[in-house]
């Protein structure tokens, strides 16, 4: 019996993104299924982080400044994300539309991006109260559960400056999860950490992958982590997908010479 057709939770449809004379995404099309964990690998400048920034609406698919050179459509949960419908056609999304649509997308950044003037607990409750509209009591209960999940239940009253980099990143993970996103974006979340702090952060993310059905789109240079948590690995270069497949195939028997060269260099480091 054929498996049911699943509507993708993320779809890029011929997305082209440029910065000046540099084409970062070149007619890029791909789909991510609900609950799928996809890792993006490739050299710096290959377009991986731009994909995450488009999903966080930190970049626009078709900015007003250069509508002729950029284009395509991003879809999330079956609805246009980069665009909205107006008089039967798709037009670039308004800020109001983007605010509504991005509530189910959470992101953990390289540099933590915690509020330095807020203690840990408030860092995790602030958006819950002011964006999600939860009561302070409800937000704090959820924050405490998540801080316990990431191993920081005893740090609720600390300021970020009193935490290690690894602890700050775990707070950032708790903050992202507190908004109950359907999609979690991870942008090189261990790149700013000292090597001895990396393992704790990756262990938390493995727990999230193992215990939730959240869709994860991850940019990382940690190939062991990519192998452990991914359903699919996508190799990028020049704004295009060079090769993709399950992690066992991608890391053991990559077919494309560009993928082989990249993995040889990364694994040697």
Give the DSSP letter string of 32-63.
Answer: E-TT-EEEEE-STTSSHHHHHHHHTTSS-SS-
229 falls within a domain: yes
- Read off the tokens for 238: 């020049």
pTM of the model: 0.91
211 falls within a domain: yes
Domain count, the chain: 1
Q: What is the pLDDT of residue 268?
A: 79
4 falls within a domain: no
SS3 state at 134: coil
What DSSP element (H or E) covers 16?
strand 10-19
Specify the pairing of strand 232-237 against strand 240-245. Answer: antiparallel
Q: What is the pLDDT of residue 56?
A: 93
17 falls within a domain: yes
| Sequence-separated (6 or more) residues with CB below 8 Å from residue 263 | 41, 223, 250, 251, 254
The residue ranges of the chain whose pLDDT is under 50 are 1-3
How far is it, in rounded angstroms, from Cα 261 to Cα 263?
Answer: 6
> What CATH number does residue 92 fall under?
3.40.50.300
Question: DSSP alpha helices (H): ranges in 66-212?
Answer: 95-101, 120-130, 136-149, 165-178, 195-211
Domain limits for position 156: 10-268
5 falls within a domain: no
Q: What is the pLDDT of residue 2?
A: 43
3 falls within a domain: no
194 falls within a domain: yes
CA distances from 159 to 22, 114, 201, 261 (A): 40, 10, 19, 43
């Amino acid at each position: 019996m054929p498996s049911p057709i699943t509507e993708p939770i993320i779809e890029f449809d011929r997305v082209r993104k440029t910065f000046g004379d540099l084409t970062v995404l070149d007619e890029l099309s791909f789909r991510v299924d609900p609950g799928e964990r996809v890792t993006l690998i490739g050299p710096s400048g290959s377009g991986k982080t731009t994909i995450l920034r488009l999903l966080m609406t930190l970049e626009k698919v078709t900015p007003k400044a250069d509508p002729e050179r950029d284009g395509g459509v991003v879809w999330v949960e079956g609805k246009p994300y980069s665009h909205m419908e107006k008089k039967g056609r798709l037009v670039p999304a308004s800020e109001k539309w983007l605010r509504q649509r991005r509530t189910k997308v959470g992101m953990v950044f390289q540099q933590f991006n915690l509020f330095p003037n807020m203690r840990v607990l408030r860092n995790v409750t602030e958006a819950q109260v002011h964006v999600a509209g939860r009561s302070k009591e409800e937000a704090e209960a959820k924050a405490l559960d998540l801080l316990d999940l990431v191993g920081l239940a005893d740090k609720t009253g600390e300021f970020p400056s009193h935490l290690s980099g690894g602890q700050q990143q775990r707070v950032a993970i708790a903050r992202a999860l507190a908004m109950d996103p359907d999609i979690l974006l991870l942008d090189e979340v261990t790149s700013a950490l000292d090597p001895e702090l990396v393992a704790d952060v990756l262990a938390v993310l493995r727990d999230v992958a193992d215990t939730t059905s959240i869709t994860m789109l991850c940019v990382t240079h940690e190939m062991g982590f990519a192998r452990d948590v991914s359903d699919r690995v996508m190799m990028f270069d020049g704004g295009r997908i060079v090769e993709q497949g399950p992690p066992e195939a991608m890391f053991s028997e990559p077919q494309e010479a560009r993928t082989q060269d990249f993995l040889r260099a990364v694994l040697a480091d």
